[in-house]
Structure 1
Amino acid sequence: MTVERVQQIAEALAARLRRSVAVDDHSLQLVAASPDRGDSDPARVWSVLHRRTRPEDVDLAELRLISAPTRVPPNPNLGLHARLVVPVRYRDTLLGFVWLIDEDDTLTVEERVDAVAAANAIAVLLHERLIVRDHDRALAGHLLDRLFDASAGERAEAVTELLQQGLIDDDTHVGVLVARHADTDVRVAVHLACRGLPPASWLSSSGRRQVTVLLAGRRSVEQALRDTADTLRASLPGIRVGLGAPTQGLGAATVAHRQAMIALSVVESLGEEAAVADFGRLGAYTLLGQIPADVVDPDVLPIGVVNLLRLGPGHELLHSLEVFLDCAGNKQWTAQLLAVHRSTLYHRLDRIEEISGLDLADGGDRLLAHLAVKLLRLGRPG
């Protein structure tokens, strides 16, 4: 495997130069690290434990510009000894960095040349890994499309191929989320949010502003699904995420994907009130979110209901009605939630009945009113 070969090069270089060596990829994620040669500092220990270089230890923007071995000065406040960093480039494309601890600036010219040769060999391997990853990503995207959108027969074939190709290791438990941003490419945010997950436990589609992520594993993926959604919400303002209900087996992922799409539609319709919607917690919206906007025609609703809805979702009468209906008609509870006197609530309910022509003591009228205000929040009707 590519990583094993990079590890071998790092260990051989460390043995020849008698100092610790580490290899990062272009985003400072650790690829390989030699055994400790007695020169480790707190920064290296942290890097090995967390599988990445601490962001505060280096200026990544400056590192990406270097084209030759460069000395990084010590920083006692960070527990960072001086280092030599050698860029790993393949045909001028930066793929990573080779790090050598050089506290006393004792590396000779010959040793630096040796380090550059090792970096060049690593560059070939990391380039090969990129090709494999690009192929795997393309294959994964194709198989996810078939898993979610194709016929039952094609879905079964996609399940078999995902498992046989090793793209998914175990599909005992499966979860799906869909993330979308109106203006920004979300792919980088998705990969950063998922990079801590075990290998062969997640896949993502290749869209730009909308990405589907599938998580799978031997144990429940429910918490991992929510953690991933929370990370996306924190890292990319304006993103909206819909979560499907966790299920079992890749064959059931198409239902989870549909649920995630419904949840995403709901959270986008609700605007700034939320960034993440979990299908299992949507309540009535699990059903209402499936109703296309063009199915509900306001022209064929009772005129009183239309007049009520024309007040707009921010109007105090509509808000009071929604809270009243959410409280199952409990007026005391409703008044408490609205922070108004009960007589004020009674007056508002009377006005609602006058405008709409509905009888809020009637179960059918109450159901109609509840559906109307919830659909209004989703941008339907009108």
Structure 2
Amino acid sequence: MHGYGDYGDFEGYQDLVDEVSALLGAPATLEDRDFRLIAFGAHDSDDAAVTDPVRTRSVLTRRSSAEVRAWFEGFGIARATGPLRVPADPRAGIHARVCLPVRHRGVVYGYVWLLEDDEPGRPPHEERALRAAMGVADRIGVLLAADTRAGADAGRALLDVLTDSKARREAARDTLRTALGRAADSELAVVCVTPWDSAESPDSEVLPGVRTLPGALALCAAPESGPPGGGAGRETPGRSGRTADGGAGGAAGPGGPGDGDGLVVLTRGRSAAAVAGRLVESARGADGRAGVSDPRHGLDGLPGAFREALTAARAARAQPRLGPVALWSGIGPYRLLAALPRGATDPAVLPLLEPAHAELAHTAEVFLDCAGGAGRAAAVLAVHRQTLYYRLSRIQALTGLDLADGEDRLLLHMALKAVRL
């Protein structure tokens, strides 16, 4: 048997998948409801009927494509309460399958898959064996439901550790430490993705697209504006999440002050950048950005790590060249600019920030980004150097600042960068 330790009782899942394989005489594959691999059975046969490109992709990449998912969901697997046979699609290289829905108390948590061969003379899986296998699938559903509930508790605890009062934070830290086990004393980092789409039903039991995120220890969603001392509000969690790497899951707030909801992830330090990249891929829309904190040892430094990750995410949104994932250590002046109150700017710069002068503001920023090099700035702006000089004279007239003076340049540059945040 083979599989991946993204769930708390990994050995239990492996044993149950092995039991299904033994009952039906075929290797079984267990995926969660987001079509992410949990466990699979190995096979020694050369018979092509026991595998196909879909199963191979799932085993190698731990997930299925959107097209494959749509194909199977089109046959009603999410509504099925018993074994469901799904026909082959030869054009897509999909073999016929039997799906055993993994449910608990009416909620689908995943699927057990078994390949069938449509060739004449090959009998389908026996109904009696399928009924016995469904009993095993029900036991898997109990485990997955329990993992989800445990994940919600740890996610709420993470949210409290990051955003609540000191007294509440200490109790939440104990809960989080219990959920994470030995990982609580390892090198940890915080990842923040903003914005995160929270438009799904508030009683949804998973955060979309991240239930089995490799490397994640805990997931929660919080208002984007940050923790106390850095401007964050706190909202009552409204739905639960799922953890990976043997950790706990998270809760999503229904929204709050600031620019919207942000998804916060606690990871092992070595996994943080990869986790951030996967989260940006999972975020709905093209404007998702992630920030990654410096690593910390243990749980005590998490509020500070949250501020770093949130600031890095804001910087990634403000400055596209930082990329969709920005490290706190790599955002340069934005580390200082983020400490300024939101909306604060110098009165001298205010006239330049009016919509009618957007082109001049852009010119000023490019000129200062180029360290005052007129030739380079003109090339970046794709204008004649005389046009640049004319614009710079207008900028000086509007602001009263002398662009030949180092401190005036610094003031203007800081103000324009702060506006981006």
**TM-score in same-fold range (> 0.5):** yes
Report the more deviating stretch, 195-204 or 206-215.
195-204
CA distance in 2 between partners of 1:192 and 1:128 (Å): 15
Letter in 2 for 1:289: A
Offset of residue 182 of structure 1: 7.2
Partner SS, residue 289 of structure 2:
strand
Partner of 2:288: 240
**2:142 matched to 1:127?**
yes
Q: What's the offset of the Cα at 1:199? A: 0.7
Deviations 1:352-379, CA, capped at 9 Å, x for gaps:
223333222222322232233333444x
Matched, 1:28 2:35: yes
Q: Which residue of 1 aligns with 2:389?
A: 346
Alignment of 1:369-380 (within 5 A): 369-378=412-421
Q: 1:5 Cα shift?
A: 4.2
Show the counterpart of 2:236. none
Using a 3 Å threshold, how does the CA distance of structure 1 residues 345 and 164 change in structure 2: closer, same or farther? same
Deviation at 1:196, TM superposition (A): 6.7
Q: 1:310 aligns with which of 339, 354, 357?
A: 354
Is the 1:86–1:116 contact (alpha carbons within 8 Å) kept by the matching residues of 2? Answer: no
Offset of 1:167 from its aligned partner? 5.2
> What SS does structure 2 have at the residue aligned with 1:23?
strand
Quick one: which amino acid aligns to residue 98 of structure 1?
V
Is the CA contact 2:193–2:264 (under 8 Å) kept in the aligned structure 1? yes
2:273 maps to 223
The residue that corresponds to 2:21 in the other structure is: 14
SS in 2 for 1:174: strand
Residue pair 1:243, 1:279 contacting (<8 A) in 2 also: yes
Matched residue, 1:328: 371
1:194 to 201, 209, 213: 213
Q: In the aligned structure 2, how far is the partner of 1:237 from the partner of 1:179?
A: 12
Whether the aligned pair in 2 keeps the contact of 1:267 and 1:274 (CA below 8 Å) is yes
Query: CA deviation digits over 1:56-88, x for unaligned, max 9?
Result: 554224222334433333344454443333333
Answering whether residue 398 of structure 2 is matched by residue 355 of structure 1, we say: yes
Higher mean displacement: 7-16 or 356-365? 7-16
**Whole-Å separation in 2 of the counterparts to 1:182 and 1:226:** 13
1:263/1:277 contact within 8 Å kept: yes
Q: 1:107 aligns to what? A: 124
Report the Cα offset of residue 254 of structure 1. Answer: 2.0
The offset of 1:276, in angstroms, is 5.0
Asked if 2 retains the 8 angstrom alpha-carbon contact of 1:2 and 1:129, the reply is no
Q: Which region of structure 1 is more displaced relative to structure 2, 255-264 or 193-202? A: 193-202
Match of 2:104 in 1: 90
Question: Is the CA contact (8 Å cut-off) linking 1:203 and 1:213 kept in structure 2?
Answer: no
**Is the counterpart of residue 258 in structure 1 residue 307 in structure 2?**
yes
Cα distance in 2 for partners of 1:12, 1:222 equals 35
CA 1:154–1:188 in structure 2 vs 1: closer, same or farther (change >3 Å)?
closer
Q: Distance in 2 between matches of 1:154 and 1:229?
A: 29
State the Cα RMSD in Å: 3.7
Asked if the contact 1:22/1:99 (under 8 Å) is kept, the reply is yes
Structure 2 unmatched runs, 5+: 1-7, 201-205, 217-243, 255-260
Cα separation, 2, equivalents of 1:313 and 1:272: 23
Q: Is the 8 A contact 1:21 1:99 kept in 2?
A: yes
Partner amino acid for 1:373?
Answer: L
Aligned length: 365
Pair 1:136 & 2:151 matched = yes
2:266 to 191, 195, 214: 214
State the one-letter code of the partner of 1:282. I
Give 2:375's aligned amino acid: Q
Distance 1:364 1:259 in 2: 28
| Distance verdict in 2 for CA 1:313–1:4, change over 3 Å | farther
1:249 aligns with one of 293, 297, 300: 297
CA distance in 2, matches of 1:247, 1:295: 30
Q: Judge conservation of contact 1:173–1:221 (CA < 8 Å) in 2.
A: no
1:41 is aligned to 51
Whole-angstrom CA distance in 2 between matches of 1:4 and 1:55: 29
Between the aligned residues of both structures, percent identity stands at 29
Partner AA of 2:289 in structure 1: V
**Structure 1 residue 94: Cα displacement:** 2.6
The change in CA–CA distance for 1:348 and 1:95 in structure 2 (over 3 A counts) is: closer
- Contact 2:31/2:111 (<8 A) preserved: yes
Q: Which has the higher helix share?
A: 1
- Separation (CA, whole Å) in 1 of partners of 2:34 and 2:393: 62
Q: Which range moved further: 282-291 or 47-56?
A: 47-56
Unpaired segments ≥5 residues, structure 1: none
Answer 1 or 2: higher relative contact order, Cα 8 Å, separation at least 6.
2
Q: Report the TM-score, using the length of structure 2 for normalisation.
A: 0.71
Residue in 1 that maps onto 2:411: 368
- Other-structure match for 2:73: 60
1:176 aligned partner = 190
- More off after superposition, 321-330 vs 71-80: 71-80
Letter matched to residue 294 of structure 2: P
Counterpart code for 1:236: R
Considering only CA atoms, is the larger Rg found in Structure 1 or Structure 2? 1
